[in-house]
Amino acid sequence: MQNITELRESLADNYTKMKAGKMNLALGKELANTSGKMINSLKCELEYNFLMGIKAPIKFLANPDFVELKKPVNKIDTSSKQLK
């Protein structure tokens, strides 16, 4: 498991297996518990980075299919009377 997307897919697969009776519920519970601990550690890292002003990407949260835009995206002017 290399990223959060793979973790989510694994959890969904485990859920399907447990629902179909193909995975022991105790094992599924432990896998879900461990996944929750991984997610909580990521939350802690995100909060720490926010508080310290760190803007470095977190590898586990990165989307492997992400394609960086080469051209900047124009921001929407929210001061326009048409948007209010």
- Encoded amino acid at 34, one letter: T
Tens-digit pLDDT profile for residues 15-64:
999 999 999 999 999 999 999 999 999 999 999 999 999 998 898 988 76
CA 24 to chain centre: 26
Instruction: Determine if the pTM surpasses 0.85.
Output: no
pLDDT at 62: 84
Q: Which long-range contacts (CB under 8 A, 24 or more apart) does 22-31 make?
A: none
With beta carbons less than 8 A apart as the criterion, state whether 1 and 61 touch. Answer: no
With beta carbons less than 8 A apart as the criterion, state whether 28 and 18 touch. Answer: yes
Taking the CA atoms of residue 1, residue 57, residue 78 and residue 71 in that order, the dihedral angle to the nearest 10 degrees is -100
What H or E segment, with its residue span, contains residue 4? helix 4-19
